[in-house]
Amino acid sequence: MRTRGSSEVHLTYAEAGVDEPREQEALKGMLDLLQSTYSLHKGIGSPAFPIGHFSNVLDMGAGLGLVLTTDGVGTKLVLAQMLHKYDTVGIDCVANNVNDLLCLGAEPVAMLDYIAIDTIDEKALVDVARGLRAGAELAHISIPGGEIAQVADMLSPTRGASTIDLVGSAIGIVSLSGEREDLPPLVDGKKVAPGDVLIGLLSSGLHSNGYSFARKVLLNQAGLRLDQYVSELGRTLGEELLQPTFIYVDPVLGVLKKRLAVHGIVNVSGGGLLSLGRLPTDCGFLIKEIPPAPAVFRLIQRHGSIPDADMFAAFNMGIGFCLVCAKDAAKPVIHEIASHGYRSIEMGKIVDEPRGKIVIEPLGLVGSGEVFTPA
């Protein structure tokens, strides 16, 4: 059980709507109950791991591992509603799910969508489907089913356009034992070791995280309008904020299918680069290169007078996805990624430090758990 809420709003910004310790406590109780279900299904389809990483894996027999995940779009949907523009959030929905599947090395196969809506708005629904279709095309998946729930009583009153919640649940496939040459090999992160290289793939913008925080700073505090042209963005604020999340299927499967020595895969989502700490490895990360933060992050930081430490714990800051690979695989990995039209950089290396400790040397930040602090 993961939480999107905690990923959406920064820790030190409890007033923005998240009460982190209480959430963690509830989460613990839920996890205990849900983990007790792992032994309830016998035979084909038993969970292969005790605890979920980014996704879990079921053993389907014959070396086939089935990876399952579910994720929604979160409060990026509030912006879609404010702008009456629903044709891209479907891409985010697909991206959030398939990017999580990739973290176990899985080839995404299919996704189901769930849409909660207050009142039926044909145009909004068809536009959502347009985005889902576009995302499915980029991820090479089918969307063989879904559900629309008209539950006005449960959703917030309309802001002049339909209130919509959009959630996906997706499956992917891996070779569990390594014997299936038709499938990418399972990457569970346990091979990550000191000396490995950290490669970061550039993001398209905010992706789907930090939106409650961004909205609070840019709209409520700074008083910017979504239809306002912002010269440093080169477009309106609304256009920037609805920029769809990158779908990393092509470059990552390209790398995996070439059997390059990838040891760990991380979707940079809630908590930004702190997501690296989700790798189940007793190592730290030393980041020596980081690209300049894209304009949208600088805009948020300036208007909110937000320290670097808080920005990096709330946003991806330009890096949307990471691969950890063996030292000599770094160049071919970056080359393969580029061949699919995605940019990546060698950010640093894996070091012999306590689990999940992340040093961003150029900015003097040290992170672990859910916070960065100045070194």
DSSP letter string over 263-287? EEEEE--TTGGGGGGGSSSS-EEEE
Give whichever of 45 and 195 is closer to a copy of itself, judged by the CB atom.
45
Give whichever of 155 and 351 is closer to a copy of itself, judged by the CB atom.
155
CB of 240 to a copy of itself, least distance (A): 19
User: Distance of CA 53 to CAs 147, 267, 268, 280, 323, Å?
Assistant: 27, 11, 13, 8, 15
CB of 130 to a copy of itself, least distance (A): 6
Residue partners of 157: CB distance under 8 A and separation at least 6: 118, 163
CA distance 300 to 77: 19
Give whichever of 58 and 347 is closer to a copy of itself, judged by the CB atom.
58
Both tokens assigned to 65:
């591992």
Give whichever of 74 and 264 is closer to a copy of itself, judged by the CB atom.
74
For residues 151-186, one letter each, b for 16 or more C-beta atoms within 10 angstroms of the residue's C-beta and e for the rest, the string is: eeeebeeeeebbbbbbbbbbbbbbbbeeebeebbbb
CB of 176 to a copy of itself, least distance (A): 13
CB of 82 to a copy of itself, least distance (A): 10
CB of 129 to a copy of itself, least distance (A): 4
In the 8-state DSSP scheme, what is residue 103? T
Give whichever of 38 and 229 is closer to a copy of itself, judged by the CB atom.
38
CB of 160 to a copy of itself, least distance (A): 15
Give whichever of 154 and 375 is closer to a copy of itself, judged by the CB atom.
154
Query: 329 — phi, psi (to 5°)?
Result: -85, -15
